[in-house]
Structure 1
Amino acid sequence: MLLLRTSLRGLSTFRSFSTSRVLRSDLSYQVFGPEKEEPSRNPIVFLHGLFGSKQNNRSISKALARDSKRQVFILDLRNHGDSFHSDDHTYTAMAEDVAKFIHQQSLKECVLIGHSMGAKTAMTVALDSPSLVSALIPVDNAPVNAPLKSDFGKYVRGMQEIEAQGVSKQSDADKILKEYEESLPIRQFLLTNLVRGDNGSMKFRVPVSILGEALSAGEMANFPFSESDSVTYDGPALFVRGTRSRYVSEDTIPAIRKFFPKAQIADVEAGHWLISENPEAFRQKVVKFLHETP
């Protein structure tokens, strides 16, 4: 266990720890925040988006652990990071994984934060197992069936081309991917999944074909519940959306209110990748909400 000491405003020191391991459920995770022996509020479970991993949320999780004095668990969802691979890549399956993780860690009630794919997963957990969730923070996604507004299908084709060419350097992989995506930050994000295989060539640690099939089948655009369902999550919820993103438009607000009657809407000056684009504004919105939440 790695012990970290972090200064807190108004407090002399704050003991944190980080540990990475794979459970029998094969969900890889890390933890930041106060040790379990110390009194704390309900822990946070943080879920990344498509093609992401727990690595993407390390910095913001350390800040939230410091500011909220809570444990923060960052997970690798199935088919991502160091977690297991499965042909079944749906929100229902991912929500079951997260609920199992919460039970295995004896976390009881948690604050669930999720971005994009992780947001829909978090919403599904809250609607399926509301007793496990003390508060919900979906980031730039809504509980609706809607076409994806990013070029994820194009990214898959670029990633498949990289593997097909058997490149041995990340710079060569970036040259290929540039033909599919002009944005350097997005290419860098996708290439965080690139690792060196046993034969020396570069490959992706995510199962590109499985994720491509899930995208083609519309699984990532869908939501497991429809507005005709009577299920709701009646706990506190904060929907954080990017002002330059189209994922949480005004048209989605009725569905949000239907499933999550206590939902608040918070805007951050950013696009869809708002946690990395404007982390300070995101941190402030979340910390304010958490200070009002058990």
Structure 2
Amino acid sequence: MRAVLIAGPTASGKSALALEMAEAEDGVVVNADSMQVYDTLRILTARPAQADLERAPHYLYGHVPALRSYSAGQWFRDVDDLLARDDVASRLLVFVGGTGLYFRALTDGLSEMPAIPEPIRRHWRDRLREDGAETLHARLRAVDPQTAATLDATDSQRIVRALEVFDASGQSIRKLQKDRGRALVRPEDARRIVLMPERDLLRQRIHERFVSMVDDGAIEEVERLLALGLSPDLPAMKAIGVREIGAFLSGDMTIEQAIERASIATRQYAKRQMTWFRNQLDDGWERRA
């Protein structure tokens, strides 16, 4: 199996590079971004445009309904299924995205997590909505103090995930995470590239891209998402731009304010991504500006 891994912060040019490499070698592009999996958010998550899809096959984009939560484990299994297809595995595989955990799972393996029964999932989602993250963090501290100590009391998504796992299995998610399974791509067999643009250039790209998103229909996209009446705790509802454009739609912001707030939030997210890549990716990754 031939593979290229392209990581980097949002708006760094990853998708363009991935498409260029896939097209040059009759390869396929595989999504490794946790937000680009959701179906409703094509524009706001910067999923590849139709013209890009026609230049090379793209997989694992927009295949998850916005009403679902999608985990790294589910992505890992979807990639595993994809690699079982002869028409895919025989070609150059270009994995591209900004979700570091996906790349780590790909090359290091992923812990086997228990399936979470829907009643348990619903129970903890309801508790979060009614009691708040800090109350649930205290509950986690009582049953799984080691995991609780690693989580901020406001990190609602990870707190709920840890409680779900403990409820379903009786085991600490931290303990389960230490037991890694098989890797899908051997790092020494893959070309690994991480894009790390200069900060001022990235800042400019982020602002210009969000303006383009608004021009291309991001407002209408958010209207369609909000019309679904989904829980604000779902990952798709937390995509950068949803809250800001939602505030514009409700009359609480001008569109200029929404663009500026979303640009600031995107810059902060990009900074976190770059910190993760800088600290977590080893010297086997080729770094490009």
- Structure 1 length normalisation: TM-score? 0.35
Q: Report which of the two has the higher share of strand.
A: 1
Q: What TM-score does the superposition give when structure 2 sets the normalisation length?
A: 0.35
Report which of the two has the higher share of helix.
Answer: 2
